[in-house]
Structure 1
Amino acid sequence: MTTYTHRALLLTLSAAAVATTLTTTAPMARAEAATAVPALSWRPCAEPGGLAGKECAELPVPLDYRDPDGPQLTLAVARVRSERPAARRGTLLMIAGGPGTSGVRRLEQKGEALRKEMAGAYDLVSFDPRGVGGSTTASCELDADDRQLVTLRSWPGPNGEIAENVARSRRIAAACGRHGGAVLRSITTANEVRDIDRLRQALGERKLSAWGVSYGTYVGAVYGQKYPQHTDRWVLDSSGDPDPSRLERGWLRNMSAAADDRFPDFAAWAADPARESQGLRLAQRAEDVRPMVLALAQSLDRKPKESTTVGVPLTGNRLRQALQSALYGNEDSFTQLARLIRAAQDSAARPVLPADLAQPLRNQDAAAVMATICNDVRWPRSVSAYKRAVTADRSRHPLTAGLPANVTACTFWKDVPTEQPTRITADGPSNILMVQNLRDPSTPYFGALKMRSALADRARLVTLDHGGHGAYLANGNACGDRTVTTFLTSGRRPQHDVSCAD
C-alpha cells in the first residue's frame, strides 16, 4: 500500500483525568511477566538508494498473551544504530499511525531526517504491527470491489442513502468472521502495546523513548499508562480524543469538523493568483472554492466521468475522498487535487486518479485496518440510528457528506471486544511532549485538547499554527521541530504549553 493510501486511511484519534486503567486482567499480567523474550538477530537490509545502515530482524510474539508459550506470530523490526556510540543514550521507537501503517516503511521515510536531528543520541527502531507489512498478516478474502478505498470507507450514496453501505458492511464483517481467524482477532491496540514491551525487552532496554504519530499517539499513550516505568522521553504527534467509550468510532466522527477546519487552507491556495500560471487557480475568491467543489461532486454523483483507469470512473465520492486525502498533506497534495478538479471540469479530459483511488487495497491491508478499529471497542448496532446520524452530519458538514457518522463493518462484527479499553489518566511520570497542528483534518485540535486534559501535568502541548496531518519533521515549522528535538536530545521541555507561529 502506498504512503498516500495510509494517509487516507488514517482515522483520527473527552477523556477526564480519572484514576483507573482497565486494560488487562490479573491472569493476563501474570502471563506477560512470566514470558521469556529471545534476543533479536539483526541482519543488514538497506535498500539501494535507501536508508543507509538499516538492519532488520524478526521478533516472535504470542498470538495470545494468556498463552505465552502457545502459537507465535512474527513482527518485522528495523533499526539504524547511533553513529556516535559515545553520545548514545538509548533507543527511540517510532510508533506508526493508521491503524495499518508499516513502521518499517516509516523508518525508511523519516529515518535520515530523524538521525540528523538526534545527532547520535539514539538507535532508531520501528516495527510492523501484527497484521501489517512484513509481520504475520491475516486476510478477510474480500472481493476487489469491497477493498476499494471509497467502499471500504462507508461513503453514503448521492442523497445520503446508506442501504448499500449496510449491505457491504454486513458482507465484510461476515467475510472477516469466516476467514480472519485467530490472527485477525488478535489485532488490537492492547496487543500492540504488549508487543512493544516485548520488543523493549528484546532490545535489552530498561526504558524506551518514543515518537508516536496519529493512531500511534494513542498506542503510545496506552503504553505510557500501562508501563509508565519503562517510558523515558515520550512524544505524541497529532493526537486525538482518547475517550475509552468511543475510540476509533469517535476519531472517525471527529473528521467532519476537522475537514471544515482545514479546507480554508486549500481554498486560499486554490484562489491565489500564483496558481494562474499553473492553470490551477480554481476561483477568483477563496470563498468560492467550497461551493464549486461541492457542486462538482454532486455533478459527478449524477454522471461519473471516465478516468484513465479502465473501469474506475471519477465519481462524486472519489472526488470527496481525494479531497480528504489532499487535506492531510501540503502544497504537493493541493496541486494533485487541483489537477484532478480541473480534469473533472474539462469535457475533453480524462482524469488521472490518485493511486489509492485507482486500485483496491491488498486483502491483508484491508484486514489490518478493519481489525483494529472493530476489535478495540464495541460499535452501536442500530442501523436506523446511523441513518439519522448521517442525515444530520452531512447537513452540518457537506465536505465529508456523512461518511464520519456512517455504518461500518464494525457494526456487524462477529467477535465483540474481549478487553476494556485503557483510560488515559494523569497517573504517571511527567515526561510527555505533545505536538499538534492547529488545523489537522484527521486528528483535530479539539480532540488533541481532550488528550491533553486527560494527561494533565504529565504532558506539555506544542501548538503549531499550521494545517495538515503530522507535525514534527513534517511541515518545516522550525519552532516546533526545535522544541521536539531539544526535548528528545536534552530532556528540556517547555514549562508550560506553547504555540509556534507558521
Structure 2
Amino acid sequence: MIGALAAVIPATAGESTAGRPTVGLQWTACPQDVVVPPAVQGQVQCAKVPVPLDYRDPGGTQIEIMVSRIASTKPEKRRGVLMFNPGGPGGTGLDQPGFLAGQGLPASVMDAYDLIGMDTRGVGHSAPVSCGFVLGDAYWANIPPYAVDDADVTRHAEVAEEVAARCAENDTDGRLRHLTTANMARDLDRIRAALGEEKASFYGASYGSALGAAYVSMFPRSTDRIVLDSNIGDTHLDRDGLRRYALGMEQTFPDFATWAAARHDSYGLGRTPQQVRRTYLTLAERFDRTPAPDGLTGEFFRGITFAYLYNERQYGNLARTWQSYLDPGQAPSQAETAAAAPSPNDNAFTVFLAVTCNDVQWPKDVTTYRRAVAEDRKRYPLFGAASANITPCAYWKYEPSEPPVAISAKGPRNVLVLQNRQDPVTPLAGGKLLREKFGQRARLVTANQSGHGVYVLSGNACALNLTTSYLVEGTMPARDTTCRGD
C-alpha cells in the first residue's frame, strides 16, 4: 500500500547530481514513420536523451527518450524551448511539432521557441513496451465496454484479469513498473537540461494536462510558460476521472443531437434532439439484445459514438455511420481478425495501462465496480455503464511505487488552463478542478463550444489569441475568461 512504502522518490529527484545528463544532443533525421507535413519538410530533426529507468538508482540502467525539434529561425525573437505532449498516455509525440505547424500554429510561436516533441518513456522510439495485444482481442479499447448488467461486469472482469496477467508475463525487462507520470515529468526535466535550457515551456493536451500539471508542480523553478488543454483534473487518471467520461458524453451529445436534428432530411436520425437521443438508445439496446451477424454489438456502437464526439468535424461521419446501423446488415462490422496478427494499438494500450495502473491504487473488488456501473447507468444513461466498468488496473501486478504527484499551488503564476465547455472525455469539471488546485498560479480560459482540444485545433479565435499572447508575450489573463464559440 502507498502509505506503507519504505522509500519514496523525492520530488526533485530529476535534479540529482548523480547521473546528470550531458548538455548537447546529436540531431539527425527522424525515423521514417514520423509524419512530417509538407510545410515543414526538412525542418524536423530527432535526437536521443538518456534517462534512468529507475530514478531511485540514477546511475543504473539507462533508457533513451527520442525527441524531435523544429528550431526557431529567428534568434532575435527566440525565448527558449516549448515541449509538447498530445495525450494518451501512450500517444506518440514525435510528430507534434510538425503536426501543429501544419495545422496553423502561429509563426510568432514558432519564432519564439524551438518546438520539441517526444515519445515519452515506453512509447514508440523510447524504450517501447508491449503487453502482446493482437487483432481480435476481447480487450479492444482502453475505455471499458458498456455493461448492460452485473453479468457483463463479471464477464469483463475476466478479460481485465487476463490482460493484467498477460502484461506481467510480457514484462521480461522490468520496464512496466517504471512507467509513471512522475517519472515522465522527471524525464521532461532531463530533456530540458540536455537541451541546455535553464527553463522549459510546455503544452499538454488531454493526458498531457496531467503530465504538465505534474511537471510544473515537481519542477517549479525550471518550468517557464505552461499551457494545459482539455484537462483530466489532476496529475493522474483515477476512477473519478474515468467516470467523468460519462458526464462529458452527456454534456456533449446534445450538440451532436441538435446538429443531426437540423439535418434529418439528409440522415433520418430524428427531427428533434430528443428524437436523435432516442435513436441512439434504440440502436444501442437493439445490439445489446441481438448482436448483428457481422459482430456489431451495443458496446461497440456506444464506443464509436463516443469517439466521434471528440471533434465537431466528425459529426457528418457519425451521422452517416448511424444511417448504416438503421439498415440491418449494412452496418460496418466490428473488426475481427486472426488472433495471430499483432495489434497496431499494442504499444498505446500497454503504455496507457501501465501509467494509469501504476500512478494510483485502484479498487480490487469486483463488487465495487458492479455498484458503480449500476449507479452511473442510471445517472448517465448514454455511457455511464462503460466508464464505471472494471479495468485491468484492478488486477495489476505492481503496486504504486510512490503517491501520485500532488499539485502545488506554490510557485509562479505560469499555468494557463484551456477547456471547452462541452468535451466528451475531459469535461469542464476537469478544467475547474485543475484551476482550483493550482490556485493563483493559474487562470482558466473556457471556450464555449464542443470538442476535445482548444488551442489551434478548435478554431476558437479568442482562445487562440489569448494562448498565443501568453506563450509569446507572457501575458496571462487577469482573471478567468470565457470565450464564445466561433
Q: State if a TM-score over 0.5 links the two structures.
A: yes
Q: Which amino acid aligns with 1:207?
A: K
- DSSP 3-state at the match of 1:57: strand
Task: Please give the residue correspondences for 1:384-423 in structure 2 after superposition, counting only pairs within 5 Å.
Answer: 384-423=367-406
Equivalent position of 1:343 in the other structure: 324
Q: Which amino acid aligns with 1:372?
A: V
Say whether the 8 Å CA contact 1:272–1:281 is kept in structure 2. Answer: no
Equivalent position of 2:161 in the other structure: 170
Is residue 250 of structure 2 the alignment partner of residue 260 of structure 1?
yes
Equivalent position of 2:298 in the other structure: 316
- DSSP 3-state at the match of 1:94: strand
Say whether the 8 Å CA contact 2:37–2:99 is kept in structure 1. Answer: no
Distance 2:14 2:433 in 1: 32
Say whether the 8 Å CA contact 1:148–1:360 is kept in structure 2. Answer: no
Distance 1:366 1:30 in 2: 27
Displacement of 1:50 in angstroms is 6.3
Q: Which of 269, 278, 298 pairs up with 2:285?
A: 298
Equivalent position of 1:118 in the other structure: 109
Structure with bigger RCO (C-alpha 8 Å, 6+ apart): 1
Equivalent position of 2:204 in the other structure: 212
Q: Residues 199-248 of structure 1: CA distance to partner in whole angstroms, max 9, x if unpaired?
A: 00110000011111111111111111111001111111111322x7x743
Say whether the 8 Å CA contact 1:148–1:359 is kept in structure 2. Answer: no
Displacement of 1:115 in angstroms is 5.1
Say whether the 8 Å CA contact 2:82–2:201 is kept in structure 1. Answer: yes
Equivalent position of 1:69 in the other structure: 59
Equivalent position of 2:225 in the other structure: 233
Say whether the 8 Å CA contact 2:311–2:452 is kept in structure 1. Answer: yes
- RMSD (Å) for aligned C-alpha atoms: 2.4
Q: Residues 72-120 of structure 1: CA distance to partner in whole angstroms, max 9, x if unpaired?
A: 1121210101121211111111122111111113233213322525151
- DSSP 3-state at the match of 1:238: strand
Distance 2:309 2:473 in 1: 34
- Aligned-residue sequence identity (percent) comes to 37
Q: Which of 21, 27, 30 pairs up with 1:42?
A: 27
Stretch moving more, 222-231 or 392-401: 392-401
- DSSP 3-state at the match of 1:206: coil
Distance 2:256 2:411 in 1: 40
Equivalent position of 2:90 in the other structure: 100
- DSSP 3-state at the match of 2:105: helix
Stretch moving more, 423-432 or 279-288: 279-288
Q: Residues 235-270 of structure 1: CA distance to partner in whole angstroms, max 9, x if unpaired?
A: 11111322x7x7432210111111101010000011
Distance 1:261 1:362 in 2: 28
Say whether the 8 Å CA contact 2:44–2:68 is kept in structure 1. Answer: yes
Q: Which amino acid aligns with 2:319?
A: A
Stretch moving more, 263-272 or 117-126: 117-126
Distance 1:166 1:338 in 2: 32
Is residue 120 of structure 2 the alignment partner of residue 129 of structure 1?
yes
Q: Which amino acid aligns with 1:317?
A: E
Displacement of 1:360 in angstroms is 4.4
Distance 2:201 2:274 in 1: 44
Say whether the 8 Å CA contact 2:377–2:385 is kept in structure 1. Answer: yes
Distance 2:284 2:430 in 1: 28
Q: Residues 112-158 of structure 1: CA distance to partner in whole angstroms, max 9, x if unpaired?
A: 322525151111001001111221111122454436534x5321444
Displacement of 1:305 in angstroms is 2.8
Say whether the 8 Å CA contact 2:18–2:59 is kept in structure 1. Answer: no
Distance 1:24 1:199, change over 3 A: farther
Is residue 270 of structure 2 the alignment partner of residue 283 of structure 1?
yes
Equivalent position of 1:12 in the other structure: none
Equivalent position of 1:78 in the other structure: 68
Q: Residues 292-345 of structure 1: CA distance to partner in whole angstroms, max 9, x if unpaired?
A: 1011011112222355xxxxx2211111001110111122x1111111110011
Equivalent position of 1:501 in the other structure: 484
Equivalent position of 1:269 in the other structure: 259
Distance 1:280 1:79 in 2: 44
Say whether the 8 Å CA contact 1:147–1:360 is kept in structure 2. Answer: no
Equivalent position of 1:11 in the other structure: none
Distance 1:374 1:47, change over 3 A: same
Q: Which amino acid aligns with 1:303?
A: T
Distance 2:134 2:233 in 1: 33
Q: Which amino acid aligns with 2:26?
A: S
Distance 1:409 1:306 in 2: 29
Distance 1:116 1:203 in 2: 22
Q: Which amino acid aligns with 1:111?
A: A
Distance 1:237 1:24, change over 3 A: farther
Task: Please give the residue correspondences for 1:409-448 in structure 2 after superposition, counting only pairs within 5 Å.
Answer: 409-448=392-431
Structure 2 residue runs of 5 or longer lacking an equivalent are 1-6
Distance 1:412 1:140 in 2: 14
Say how many residue pairs are matched: 467
Greater share of helix: 1
Distance 1:62 1:321, change over 3 A: same
Equivalent position of 2:461 in the other structure: 478
Say whether the 8 Å CA contact 1:149–1:360 is kept in structure 2. Answer: no
Is residue 315 of structure 2 the alignment partner of residue 328 of structure 1?
no
Distance 1:30 1:266 in 2: 45
Q: Which of 44, 47, 50 pairs up with 1:54?
A: 44
Say whether the 8 Å CA contact 1:61–1:72 is kept in structure 2. Answer: yes
Say whether the 8 Å CA contact 1:138–1:183 is kept in structure 2. Answer: yes
Q: Residues 447-501 of structure 1: CA distance to partner in whole angstroms, max 9, x if unpaired?
A: 2111101111001111110111111112111011000001101111111111111
Distance 1:385 1:189 in 2: 26
Distance 1:407 1:289, change over 3 A: same
TM-score (norm 2): 0.90
Displacement of 1:436 in angstroms is 0.8
